[in-house]
C-alpha cells in the first residue's frame, strides 16, 4: 500500500499485494500544459510522462537539466546529458483545446441523460470572478470536454 509522507506518496514496495489507493491526477500524458510559475513561466509544452506518487510531470522541451554521467564499461567516455526534469503539478495548468487558455479541471460525473460515468469526464472549469476595483464580473473557462475518460 502506498504511504503518504509529507509532500508525496511513496511507491509501494515490490511484492506488496495489499490494496493501494489510486492516485488520480488532472494532468495526463499527451496533454498540452502551460507553466504557470518559475523560470519557464508562460511556455507551453506536451506532457511526456506523469509521476503520480510524487505529483510531478515531465514536459517536452521544458525544465532542462544537465545530467553528469560517470565513466562505465558501457559508457567509457562519460559525459553530460541534456534532459527534461520533472516539474511539480502545482506549477502547470492544462491548456483547454477549445478555448486555448490555461484552465482548471472539473470532472463531470454524469452524462447528458443523467447516467453515471465511471471516473467522470474531464471538462474545462467555468468560474466567475468579480473584479475588486471595477466590480465587473468575468467568466473564465468554456465547459468543453478535455479528455474522453477520467
What is the pLDDT, as a whole number, of residue 3?
63
Please, what's the largest Cα pairwise distance for the chain?
68
Cell numbers standing for residue 142:
468554456
What is the pLDDT, as a whole number, of residue 40?
92
Spatial neighbors of 128 by CB under 8 A, at least 6 apart, are 137, 138, 139, 140
What is the pLDDT, as a whole number, of residue 121?
85
What is the pLDDT, as a whole number, of residue 149?
44
Q: Is 148 a domain residue?
A: yes
Q: Is 124 a domain residue?
A: yes
Say yes or no: 106 and 81 in one domain: no
Consecutive H or E run containing 121: strand 116-124
Say yes or no: 52 and 115 in one domain: no
Say yes or no: 90 and 104 in one domain: no
Which residues constitute the domain of residue 85?
Answer: 22-95
Tens-digit pLDDT profile for the chain (150 aa)?
566 666 666 666 666 655 456 777 889 999 999 999 999 999 999 999 998 878 899 999 999 999 999 999 998 999 999 999 999 999 999 999 888 889 988 888 887 788 887 778 888 888 888 888 888 888 888 888 887 444
Amino acid at each position: 500500500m502506498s504511504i503518504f509522507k509529507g509532500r508525496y506518496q511513496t511507491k509501494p514496495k515490490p511484492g506488496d499485494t495489499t490494496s493501494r489507493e489510486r492516485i488520480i491526477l488532472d494532468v495526463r500524458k499527451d496533454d498540452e500544459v502551460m507553466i504557470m510559475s518559475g523560470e519557464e513561466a508562460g511556455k507551453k509544452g506536451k506532457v511526456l510522462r506523469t509521476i503520480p506518487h510524487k505529483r510531478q510531470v515531465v514536459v517536452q522541451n521544458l525544465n532542462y537539466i544537465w545530467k553528469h554521467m560517470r565513466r562505465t564499461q558501457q559508457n567509457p567516455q562519460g559525459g553530460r546529458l541534456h534532459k527534461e526534469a520533472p516539474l511539480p503539478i502545482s506549477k502547470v495548468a492544462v491548456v483547454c483545446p477549445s478555448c486555448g487558455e490555461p484552465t482548471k479541471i472539473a470532472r463531470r460525473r454524469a452524462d447528458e441523460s443523467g447516467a453515471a460515468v465511471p471516473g467522470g469526464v474531464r471538462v474545462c472549469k467555468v468560474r466567475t470572478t468579480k473584479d475588486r476595483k471595477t466590480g465587473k464580473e468575468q467568466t473564465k473557462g468554456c465547459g468543453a470536454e478535455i479528455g474522453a475518460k477520467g
